[in-house]
Structure 1
Amino acid sequence: MTTGRIIIFTGGSLEESDIKEIQPGDTVIGADYGAWFLVQHGISPDFSAGDFDSVTEEQLRKIQQSSKQFVSCDPINKNLSDTELALEYAIQMEPAEIIIFGAIGTRLDHTLANIQILSKVLKRGIPCSIWNRHNRITITDSVHVVSRNDFPYVSLIPLSNEVTGITLEGFMYPLHDAVLSIGESLGISNRLLQETGTITLKKGLLLVIQSKDE
């Protein structure tokens, strides 16, 4: 069990600036290529997991040597993606927060799957989000507070057929007891008017994306 943050690096698009987000006391997990990315940048993963079909044998050897814990699985006979495997391990540690880098990439199927597995962490009551240079992505089913930062746009996208009772406070475009349904774009590109904004909903699953263009 850990009381701090867990940072997961998985095998999508990763940048050197992502490394700078690691803070002292964070537990760092590498999933497949994400583990090699960490090792390349002088970071020894606390835990590395995956089928490692995205690295060479030499890279895999260095990952094993550098990781404090290491688990390899068969690339064919497995039920979980590398990201979900790492996330399962993180959930068991009951951290204060989980942040995932590399969950967005060229493979749209992997990106969508990674976004959807955020709901698994939500059920455990652990704040969890996907980060990259342009986005901060999370899921809520009740109340979520958004803080003003370098990501000026806030978009709300329903993940269930309907999300009901949506109320927004502190936003340029407020809502009160509104309904968002799949296929509607009403919740796209809102902005904060204050330092924080509160999103409240009664029923459903809502994707919250803070984003920027540059």
Structure 2
Amino acid sequence: MAAKRALIFSGGQLHPDFLKEIREDDLVIGADRGALFLIQHGVQPQLAIGDFDSLNDQETELEQIRQQAGELVVYDPIEKDLTDTEAAFEAAMERHIDEIVIFGALGTRFDHSIANVQLLIRALHHQVSCAIKDMHNYISLTSTTSVIQNQGYPYVSLLPITSEVTGIHLTGFQYPLENATLRMGHSLGISNKLAAEQGTVSIEGGLLLIIQSRD
């Protein structure tokens, strides 16, 4: 049976605790330096993909990845059209995955962070559940209804990724909303909190980022 969930380890902020989330039937993909991170922590990715220009010792470390990864795809850093994370995302989508979790998608390169967050839109349009996770953030996207579980992040912020999001209803939150509208540039949805172990966010129009976070 094909894996129904893909875990992508990209080259941003990674932590060994993320490895605890790997299940036996997951498709594990290392994007660029994320592949080296996996191998250095005893995990053999089924796929390693990227231009690998962020490796410190490219020849030695790339050979290490080649020996340990199930499959290696290397792109030319000049000729490629996709970021390494997007290439990994595309590879997961081609395998008809139901769910994708991306680790290391956020880091010091803000342009890459924004581009990776926008991958959530692509996944949503293909009806694939997708989230970005690191030690400080868990980011998902909804166009309808989402049940938000308490995952240890104290804050829940709601940010429109379209010009406005309408018909917002929150239940199970410290600050509930009923038929509210959020517009880009307004901070009304920042730093809410769950009032129990889970809450529900439903919207009628637009795309809404749900960011669970901690300092």
**So what's the TM-score if we normalise by structure 1?**
0.96
- Distance (whole Å) between structure 1 residues aligned to residue 197 and residue 43 of structure 2: 34
Which of 90, 95, 98 aligns to 1:96? It is 98
- Distance (whole Å) between structure 2 residues aligned to residue 148 and residue 37 of structure 1: 28
59-68 or 21-30, larger mean C-alpha shift: 21-30
2:2 is matched with: 2
1:203 is matched with: 205
Moved over 4 A (4+): none
2:14 is matched with: 14
Asked if the contact 1:2–1:96 (Cα under 8 Å) also holds between the matched residues in 2, the reply is: no
- Distance (whole Å) between structure 1 residues aligned to residue 105 and residue 190 of structure 2: 21
- Distance (whole Å) between structure 2 residues aligned to residue 61 and residue 95 of structure 1: 28
- Distance (whole Å) between structure 2 residues aligned to residue 51 and residue 24 of structure 1: 27
The AA in structure 2 aligned to 1:178 is: A
- 1:117-147 Cα shifts (integer Å, max 9, x gaps): 1110111111110111111111111111101
- 1:77-135 Cα shifts (integer Å, max 9, x gaps): 11111000000111122223111110011111111111111110111111110111111
State the Cα RMSD in Å: 1.2
Asked if the contact 2:3–2:27 (Cα under 8 Å) also holds between the matched residues in 1, the reply is: no
Give runs of aligned pairs for residues 94-173 of structure 1, distance below 5 A.
94-173=96-175
**Structure 2 runs not aligned, ≥5 long:** none
**Cα shift at 1:3:** 4.4
Which of 70, 73, 86 aligns to 2:72? It is 70
**Cα shift at 1:196:** 1.5
- Distance (whole Å) between structure 1 residues aligned to residue 23 and residue 113 of structure 2: 25
- Distance (whole Å) between structure 1 residues aligned to residue 207 and residue 82 of structure 2: 22
The AA in structure 1 aligned to 2:100 is: I
The AA in structure 2 aligned to 1:112 is: I
2:179 is matched with: 177
Q: SS at 2:101's partner residue?
A: strand
Asked if the contact 2:123–2:129 (Cα under 8 Å) also holds between the matched residues in 1, the reply is: yes
The AA in structure 2 aligned to 1:7 is: L
Aligned-residue sequence identity (percent) comes to 50
2:29 is matched with: 29
- Distance (whole Å) between structure 2 residues aligned to residue 63 and residue 33 of structure 1: 10
The AA in structure 1 aligned to 2:4 is: G
1:188 is matched with: 190
- Distance (whole Å) between structure 1 residues aligned to residue 197 and residue 44 of structure 2: 36
Asked if the contact 2:3–2:25 (Cα under 8 Å) also holds between the matched residues in 1, the reply is: no
- Distance (whole Å) between structure 1 residues aligned to residue 3 and residue 62 of structure 2: 30
**Cα shift at 1:16:** 1.6
Kindly tell me the number of residue pairs found equivalent between the two proteins.
213
**Structure 1 runs not aligned, ≥5 long:** none
149-158 or 17-26, larger mean C-alpha shift: 17-26
